[in-house]
Homo-oligomer: A and B are copies of this chain.
Amino acid sequence: MKLNTIGEFGFIERLAKGIRPKRSVVKGIGDDAAVLPWMRDKHLLATSDMLIEGAHFKKTQPPEKIGWKAVCCGVSDIAAMGGLPKWALVSCGLPKDLPVKYADGIYRGIKKAAKCFSIDLVGGDTNRSKKIILEVVLLGEVKKKNLVLRSGAEVGDFIFVTGSLGGSIYGRHLNFVPRLKEAQTLVSNFKVNSMIDLSDGLSSDLNHIVKQSKVGAAIYKELIPKSKKARGVEGAISDGEDFELLFTMPKSDAFRLLDLKHKLFGIPITRIGTVTDKEFGTRIIDIFGGMQAVRPKGFRHF
Using a CB–CB cutoff of 8 Å, the interface residues on chain A facing chain B are 1-6, 8, 11-12, 14-15, 18-19, 21-22, 25, 28-29, 31, 33-34, 36, 38-39, 44, 46-50, 52, 54-56, 87, 89, 91-101, 103-104, 107, 111, 120-131, 133, 135, 137, 139, 301-302
- The listed residue (B5, B111, B129) touching A19 by CB distance below 8 A is B111
- The listed residue (B12, B100, B135) touching A3 by CB distance below 8 A is B100
Determine if B48 and A100 form an interchain contact, defined as CB atoms under 8 angstroms apart. Answer: no
Determine if A93 and B302 form an interchain contact, defined as CB atoms under 8 angstroms apart. Answer: no
Determine if A127 and B55 form an interchain contact, defined as CB atoms under 8 angstroms apart. Answer: yes
Determine if B50 and A14 form an interchain contact, defined as CB atoms under 8 angstroms apart. Answer: no
Give how many copies assemble into the complex: 2
Q: How far is the CA of A65 from the CA of B74 in the complex (A)?
A: 29
Determine if A50 and B127 form an interchain contact, defined as CB atoms under 8 angstroms apart. Answer: yes
Write the chain B residue with the least CB distance to A302: B96
Determine if A130 and B54 form an interchain contact, defined as CB atoms under 8 angstroms apart. Answer: yes
Q: How far is the CA of A128 from the CA of B51 in the complex (A)?
A: 10
24 sampled A-B residue pairs with Cβ under 8 A: A4-B96, A5-B100, A11-B100, A21-B121, A28-B122, A28-B123, A29-B122, A31-B123, A33-B123, A34-B87, A34-B122, A36-B122, A39-B39, A44-B44, A46-B137, A48-B123, A48-B125, A48-B135, A48-B137, A50-B127, A50-B133, A50-B135, A56-B127, A139-B139
Q: How far is the CA of A127 from the CA of B47 in the complex (A)?
A: 15
- The listed residue (B46, B103, B121, B302) touching A11 by CB distance below 8 A is B103
Q: List the B side residues contacting A122 at CB < 8 Å.
A: 21, 25, 28-29, 34, 36, 46
Determine if A120 and B21 form an interchain contact, defined as CB atoms under 8 angstroms apart. Answer: yes
Q: List the B side residues contacting A98 at CB < 8 Å.
A: 2-3
Determine if B50 and A128 form an interchain contact, defined as CB atoms under 8 angstroms apart. Answer: no
Q: List the B side residues contacting A21 at CB < 8 Å.
A: 120-122
Determine if B100 and A28 form an interchain contact, defined as CB atoms under 8 angstroms apart. Answer: no
**Min CB distance, A63 to chain B, in Å?**
13
Q: How far is the CA of A6 from the CA of B139 in the complex (A)?
A: 30
Q: How far is the CA of A200 from the CA of B21 in the complex (A)?
A: 33
Write the chain B residue with the least CB distance to A6: B100
Q: List the B side residues contacting A128 at CB < 8 Å.
A: 52, 55, 301-302
- The listed residue (B95, B107, B120) touching A28 by CB distance below 8 A is B120
